[in-house]
């Protein structure tokens, strides 16, 4: 059931992304290749799945949710391309493939990221099956989450935190901006598309905060005990760089305990909703138990 | 008259930008400083002036046009920050000041550009004094102009054109995307805010195409005969890099002739409008006769 939801959703998402890229007029061929390359890298598609799974609480018709799901994946992919640049994390590989600036060159990678971010908003503005009010809400939501008050400041703070010790509250703040904001916006987007009422929206927003933290704790745990082959990248980098993480601040056992606590809190919130939340529960488990 | 329009508009624009940046919650201080730095660099503010001057054809109340004007300046400023990066044009100075990556560092500059682009859409989505329909139109317009079908592909093509000879039609296509798209979107934004009818919109769009080309021809002319002190950057770079330009393809005299032809065409279009187009005429002259 959940497996077929994931398989079908990813298939539809990928078909929508391909169709969207193919119909863009006047695109420079190298830029087009760079967009295709990064979007085809696959991955778990957790953010679009959160958009779609949240929308399924309210409707079985996912047509209206597909463009917001895609726009979120565009923004996430852009953030990875820029994050991997030599001036940022300087990663040569992601998901076992060359990063954009290694496959192409730095200028092409910077522009690919810029192009995807811009395209996300263009697609939201023209999304079919959504009222203008819903489109405006989604643009505002995504721009706030991805902008100076969200992901961008998280990214800047994360870079600065590499060269100094960070307290647990600071670490939580950095991650709530760097990764939490987009995860939360994904769930909220599904709630907007589905037409959630105010109390449902707030509950889902709260749920999204919990899974955002769980996501980052598991990220830090994987850097300690993860399988580098499965992850398609080196592990042990945080310790090598002497970076403050949930595992360095809480110990591995302490981090695992916190992961369980946040996951349980997320499940408890879902139980308060009068809907079938099986997909969101399964996505929560996917986030907390993922191996890559 | 035009001078006081420019002075007042720039003052209001700068006050709006300052207020917008100051009220952003949870922004990393270094990111905030990088945003402030690049926006305070001044410049001619041609794009926001085009938004405002076009809106004045239809209304004397410029409140509704100010946020679109600012959003356009955010997008233009982001494009300059990324354009100046070592992987792109590798410029140390712009307008006589250090570029963002020299003043701060490359990661901070990349993020400052990303932040400004994202903030532009957030501001358009929440712009007061504009209907949701107008906001959606503006977001679509700006995202299309700045995205893969516009500025981004122009930028990618421009980089590729540095290493090979380019024909005049190719050069025109590159510049229509790289600089023409945003200039055109600026004029069209003023038309949307002002509520232009279809034929007025098309005429203004056509006018904007002409001044976009004039802008680039003068850019190439200035690189040959401009005063490096006034421009705040080195001249003669195109010839040194053996880059195809309007002056290299048409000779200096030929480029000046084309500049005059496009400027005249722009004036002729304005004459067809039943409005006082003095500000747009003056901006056309400013673009064609600028010294920097």
* DSSP character string of B63-110: HHHHHHHHHHHHHHHHHHHHHTSTTTT--SEETTEE-HHHHS-HHHHH
Task: Tell me which H or E stretch contains B205.
Answer: helix B198-225
Nearest-CB residue to A30 (from B126, B150, B160): B160
Which residues have C-beta within 8 Å of that of residue B71, sequence separation ≥ 6? B120, B121, B123, B124, B127, B138, B142
- The answer to whether the CB of A116 falls within 8 A of the CB of A81 is yes
Cβ-Cβ contacts under 8 Å, A101 against chain B: 87
Which region, left, alpha or beta, applies to residue B236 given φ > 0 means left and ψ of -120 to 50 means alpha? left
| B121, B144, B153: residue with CB nearest A143 | B121
Radius of gyration of chain A from Cα atoms? 18
Tell me whether B263 touches chain A (CB under 8 Å). no
- Give me the half-sphere count of Cα atoms (radius 13 Å) on the Cβ side of residue A124: 36
- Mean pLDDT for all residues in chain A: 95
% of residues, chain A, pLDDT over 70: 100
Measured between CB atoms, which of A110, A113, A155 is closest to B88?
Answer: A110
* pLDDT for position A41: 87
pLDDT in tens, B93-136: 988 899 999 999 999 999 999 999 999 999 999 999 999 999 99
ipTM of the complex: 0.97
Residue A118: pLDDT band by 50, 70, 90 thresholds? very high
Domain at A203, CATH number: 1.10.600.10
Instruction: Provide the pLDDT for residue B212.
Output: 97
For residue B72, list chain A residues with Cβ-Cβ distance below 8 A.
none
Expressed as residue numbers, the domain containing A64 is 2-289
B residues 130-149 closer than 8 Å to A (CB):
132-133, 135-136, 139-140, 143-144, 146-149
pLDDT at A19 over 90: yes
Asked if the model's pLDDT at residue A231 lies above 80, the reply is no
Q: Give, rounded to a whole angstrom, the gap between the first and last alpha carbons of chain B.
A: 23
Q: Which residues of B touch A157 (CB under 8 A)?
A: 28
pLDDT at A43 over 80: yes
pLDDT in tens, A86-103: 999 999 998 889 999 999
pLDDT of residue A227: 84
Q: How far apart are CA A94 and CA A91, in angstroms?
A: 7
For chain B, residues with pLDDT lower than 50 are: none
Residue B245's pLDDT is what?
Answer: 93
- Beta bridge partners, B97, equal B94
Contact A152 B31 (CB under 8 A): yes
Q: How many domains does chain A have?
A: 1
What proportion of chain A, given as a percentage, has pLDDT over 90? 89
CB contact under 8 A, A148 and B108: no
Nearest chain B residue (CA) to A141: B122
**C-beta atoms of A153 and B28 within 8 A:** yes
- Ranking A229-238, A262-271, B274-283 by mean pLDDT, the lowest is A229-238
CA distance B278 to chain A (A): 33
């Amino acid at each position: 059931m959940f497996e077929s939801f994931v398989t079908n959703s990813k298939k539809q998402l990928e078909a929508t992304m391909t169709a969207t890229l193919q119909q863009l007029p006047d695109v420079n061929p190298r830029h087009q290749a760079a967009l295709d390359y990064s979007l085809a890298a696959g991955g778990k598609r957790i953010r679009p799945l959160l958009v779609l799974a949240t929308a399924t609480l309210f409707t079985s018709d996912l047509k209206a949710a597909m463009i917001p799901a895609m726009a979120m994946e565009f923004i996430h992919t852009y953030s990875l391309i820029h994050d991997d640049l030599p001036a940022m994390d300087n990663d040569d590989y992601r998901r076992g493939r060359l990063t954009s600036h290694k496959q192409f060159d730095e200028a092409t990678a910077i522009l690919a990221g810029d192009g995807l971010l811009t395209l996300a908003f263009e697609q939201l503005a023209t999304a079919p099956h959504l009222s203008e009010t819903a489109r405006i809400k989604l643009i505002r939501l995504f721009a706030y989450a991805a902008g100076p008050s969200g992901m961008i400041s998280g990214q800047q703070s994360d870079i600065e935190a590499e060269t100094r010790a960070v307290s647990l509250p600071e670490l939580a703040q950095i991650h709530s901006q760097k990764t939490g904001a987009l995860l939360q916006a994904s769930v909220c987007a599904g709630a907007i598309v589905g037409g959630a009422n105010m109390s449902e929206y707030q509950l889902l927003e709260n749920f999204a905060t919990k899974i955002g933290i769980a996501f980052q704790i598991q990220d830090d745990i994987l850097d300690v005990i993860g399988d580098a082959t499965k992850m398609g990248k080196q592990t042990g980098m945080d310790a090598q760089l002497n970076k403050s993480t949930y595992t360095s601040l809480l110990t591995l056992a302490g981090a695992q305990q916190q992961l369980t606590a946040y996951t349980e809190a997320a499940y408890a919130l879902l139980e308060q909703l009068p809907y079938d939340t099986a997909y969101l529960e399964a996505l929560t488990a996917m986030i907390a138990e993922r191996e890559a």
